[in-house]
Structure 1
Amino acid sequence: MKLRSIELALPDPAAAAAFMTEVWGMAPSEVRGDTHYLRGSGPFPYLVAFEKSDEEFVRSTTFVCSAGDLAALKERVGQAGWPCCPAASEDPGAGEGILVELPEGVILRFLAGSTEVAPIEGRDLPVRLTHVVFNAADAEACGHAVEDVLGFKVSDRTKGMVFVRCNDSHHSTAFARAGFTSLNHIAFEMEDIDAVMRGIGRLRDHAHAPAWGPGRHGPGANVYAYFIAPYGPVIEFSTAVEKVPEDYKAGAPEDWTWPPNRIDQWGISDKDFDGLRVAEERFRFRRQWAPAPLED
């Protein structure tokens, strides 16, 4: 299973797409009606969709998987009684699968049979999404839920987050111990550390300073730089997320502590806690579909 894309609804999708292609460093994929699809250098047809809406919210976060994985997922979701419905994708890449609402309202979409596209050149394009993180009222309960029902695995726990994986990448998602539910941030996997640093420079050229970073995290060991996008959410340049074995032992909060005045491995960056908090509260979740039985 792989994290593929996130689909956002917001009032001005064209402006959001312009920032992401002209400043952040993505490539246009398609425009269908008022929805803009943007891609990276890798084989996924798009990584981010911006859909026109009077209000801003997360439409879905999409994972792609095999037909066998999808069948097993349908069975577990049905047994759990979570709100769900069959889904035939109308986005680039197509595919069929299910939409699922997690206990706190996060909407995930799982597709099988989705097509890929030829990779493109571009050393400053993101390759793919590396993770999408959600705020949670009860992060521990969310972690247990996705393990039990979705078949994901908790990789690590810290004082701030529960990190979850769906393959050998340390985390494809995480649940932040926020006390509320919303989108925390979207992380784009860059080719290497140089691409991250060039991205920081490019954003600075356009008067956008990092809200946090550059730095290197503990869990996952990825290099990062966070920015608050002008269209609302927190977005991250990231690279070198740790690959973990099947029997990786999940760490506990006491395993991930820093010396005083440090918030990452390097200890070189400041963090705009207040600005990040405001941005992290903006994009909530909205179910635009009615629950329906899943086909056998």
Structure 2
Amino acid sequence: MSMQSQSPAQLHHLHITSPAPDALARFYGQHMDLHASLEQERHVLRGGSRAVVISAGPAGLAYPAYALRDAAALDILAARLARNGVAMQAIDDPLLHAGAFSIADPQGRETVYGLARVARHADALPARLQHTVFQTTQLDEVVRFYTEQVGFTISDEVINEDSGQVMVVFLRSDDEHHSLAFFRGSRNEWDHHCYETDEWNNIRDWGDRFARLRIPIFFGPGRHGPGNNLFFMVTDPDGNRLEISAEIDRVAADAAPGVWPHNEYTLNSWGRAWIRT
């Protein structure tokens, strides 16, 4: 059975590592309206519906953390992982209750699952953390792990029409189109993370905010084919890509995966797209 039907989970926060953690924490604290504290040499930044932990290290993502709805759902997920032989490691995360754990995929990429210490609530400028995306050199193996072992569900695939090769896979862990996705690429790296706001006017307001900060949009505004969400992207001081989105599709548990051609229209139906290589 899938996470969507038995143990729904939402992306709750990210643990980002940075060679300049103080500067990165200032960026997210000031520009994403997060309240910061320093706990055990980690910057812990909390908002109503978005949060991030930042610590020293190479620029990148240590792990995304998913929050289950309750202890019963977390137990169901843990039992599924145990049946499938997936090793779980206890983890001390400042935003999750004791009992949270991490797992590693075939490439060593970590994801964390647990129960949130504080329930989400509204932010003055809406934009809840909603999904994260990676590039991978082993797309097929990684997708099999997250679907067959963990319980994510494929919402959409993007296919190279010449070769028939799958290039992008969007995975859901609840009713929303994707909370995790993978692009086939020449590198193994964090691609971007996304905040889902309420409507087009909120995207306008976020665009105006970044404009006042002289942070230019590098991709968008536009609309993705898979997920049907409006979006634009900027970068933080470390070069990590940050997306603001709205209107992401909801998908029924029994829906068949969609199939899209790998072209600019699929990635941005409004115009030019950023094609990973």
Q: Normalising TM by the smaller chain, what interval?
A: 0.7 to 0.9
Task: State the Cα distance separating 1:61 from its structure 2 match.
Answer: 1.1
Identity of aligned residues (%): 22
Query: Which of the residues 10, 13, 32 maps onto 2:18?
Result: 10
Is 1:184 the equivalent of 2:191? yes
Q: How does 1:264-279 map to 2 (within 5 A)?
A: 264-267=268-271, 270-271=272-273
The 1:176/1:272 distance shift into structure 2, 3 A limit, reads closer
Query: Which of the residues 231, 234, 245 maps onto 1:224?
Result: 231
Structure 1 unaligned residues grouped into runs of 5+: 278-296
* SS class of match (2:43): strand
**Residue type of the alignment partner of 1:3:** L
Q: How does 1:1-296 map to 2 (within 5 A)?
A: 1-23=9-31, 25-42=32-49, 47-53=51-57, 55-65=58-68, 66-87=70-91, 89-112=92-115, 114-117=116-119, 119-122=121-124, 124-126=125-127, 128-159=128-159, 160-254=167-261, 263-267=267-271, 270-271=272-273
Q: Is the Cα–Cα contact under 8 Å of residues 59 and 238 in structure 2 kept in the other structure?
A: no
Counterparts of 2:223 and 2:113, CA distance in 1: 30
- Give per-residue Cα distances to partners, 1:238-288, cap 9 Å, x unaligned: 11111111111201234x7666xx852222xx4566xx88xxxxxxxxxxx
**Residue type of the alignment partner of 2:196:** E
**Residue type of the alignment partner of 2:56:** K
The 1:107/1:96 distance shift into structure 2, 3 A limit, reads same
Task: State the Cα distance separating 1:200 from its structure 2 match.
Answer: 1.5
Task: State the Cα distance separating 1:52 from its structure 2 match.
Answer: 2.3
The 1:121/1:7 distance shift into structure 2, 3 A limit, reads closer
TM-score of the superposed pair, with normalisation by structure 2: 0.84
Task: State the Cα distance separating 1:236 from its structure 2 match.
Answer: 0.6
TM-score of the superposed pair, with normalisation by structure 1: 0.79
Q: Which runs of 4+ in 1 moved over 4 A?
A: 256-259, 270-273
* SS class of match (2:100): strand
**Residue type of the alignment partner of 1:10:** S
The 1:182/1:80 distance shift into structure 2, 3 A limit, reads farther
The 1:93/1:192 distance shift into structure 2, 3 A limit, reads same
Task: State the Cα distance separating 1:83 from its structure 2 match.
Answer: 4.3
Q: Is the Cα–Cα contact under 8 Å of residues 14 and 63 in structure 2 kept in the other structure?
A: yes
**Residue type of the alignment partner of 1:17:** A
- Give per-residue Cα distances to partners, 1:70-124, cap 9 Å, x unaligned: 333333333444443123x340343412210011221011113x322473541x2
The 1:191/1:208 distance shift into structure 2, 3 A limit, reads same
Structure 2 unaligned residues grouped into runs of 5+: 1-8, 160-166
The 1:266/1:56 distance shift into structure 2, 3 A limit, reads closer
